[in-house]
Amino acid sequence: MVAGVIVALLILSGATLWVAWPLFRPESAREMEEPSPLMACARELESRREMLLSTLRDLDEDREANKLDPQDHAEIRGRLAVEAADVLRRIDENRAALDSEERRRFPVIPHPAGRPAESADD
């Protein structure tokens, strides 16, 4: 009985310590950042691009399988292609803006040995 109590207590305290440990580590104060509006926009655009690509693939498969008329296929494909081009252009613009934002937030640090510098987040 006593052995049981000791084993149970040991296991319980070990688990408590393990679970609580992250709270007392120096980096515990770190917080997750809310993504910047640019980053959120990038995520949305990527998701849109994925959706459009998979829709275009479905469209071509449906045409090949004779489930879609050639005219309908051409009309929808044209519309989607214009949208996809627009999304790709916005992704490029967003990427450029993101890069400049990251360069601003994490400036280049000259390496003491004079080697080519790296950005802080690399």
Partner 1 sequence: MESSIQDATILLGHWSVFGAFVLAGWAAIAGALGGAARSFAMTKSAERAVLAATGFTLLAAACLVRGFLSDDFRLDYVYLYSSTSQALPYKIAALWGGQAGSLLLWVALLAVMASIMVLTNRRHNRALMPWAVAVVATTMAFFLLLLNVVEPPFRMGPMRPDGVGLNPQLKNYWMMIHPPTLYVGYVGFTIPFAFGIAALITRRTGDLWFRTTRRWTLCAWTFLGTGILLGSYWAYIELGWGGYWAWDPVENASLMPWLTGTAFLHSVMIQERKGMLKVWNALLVILTFCLSIFGTFLTRSGIISSVHSFATSNIGPFFVTFLFLAFFGSLVLLILRLGDLRSEARLESILSREASFLFNNMIFVGIAGTVLLLTTFPILSELFTGRKVTMGPPIFNMVNVPWALVLLLLAGVGPLVAWRKASTVNLKRNFAGPVLIGTWVLLLLLFRDVRGYLSAVGKTFAAMGQLDLALALERVQAFYPPLTFAIGAFVTATVVSEFWRGTRIRMRHHDESGAIALGRLVSRNKRRYGGYIVHLAMVTIFFGIAGSSAYRHESVHSLVPGEILEVGPYWMRYDQLRLVAEEDHIGAIVEASLFDAKDGTVLAKLAPEQRLHPNLQFEELRSAFVEARRLGQEGSPEYQRSVVGLFGLIRSLESRAQREVKTPSTEVAIHASWSLMHPARLAEDFYVIPVGIDPDTGQASFRVFINPMVNLIWFGGLLFVAGSILGVLPDARERNRLAGALALEDRAIA
Between 16 and 110, name the residue whose CB sits nearer to partner 1.
Answer: 16
Between 66 and 110, name the residue whose CB sits nearer to partner 1.
Answer: 66
Q: Phi/psi zone of residue 110: left (φ > 0), alpha (ψ -120 to 50 degrees), beta? A: beta
> What mask, x for binding partner 1 by CB under 8 A, covers residues 13 to 52?
--x--xxxxxx-x-xxxxxxxxx---xx-xxx-xxx-xx-
Between 113 and 122, name the residue whose CB sits nearer to partner 1.
Answer: 122
Residue with tokens 């390496």: 111
Angstrom CA distances, 72 to 25, 27, 61, 84, 102, stand at: 61, 58, 13, 18, 44
Between 67 and 111, name the residue whose CB sits nearer to partner 1.
Answer: 67
Distance CA 43, CA 35 (A): 10
Count of residues near partner 1 by CB under 8 A: 50
Distance CA 14, CA 18 (A): 6
Positions that interact with partner 1 (CB under 8 A): 1, 3-5, 7-8, 11-12, 15, 18-23, 25, 27-35, 39-40, 42-44, 46-48, 50-51, 54-55, 58-59, 61-62, 64-69, 72, 76, 121
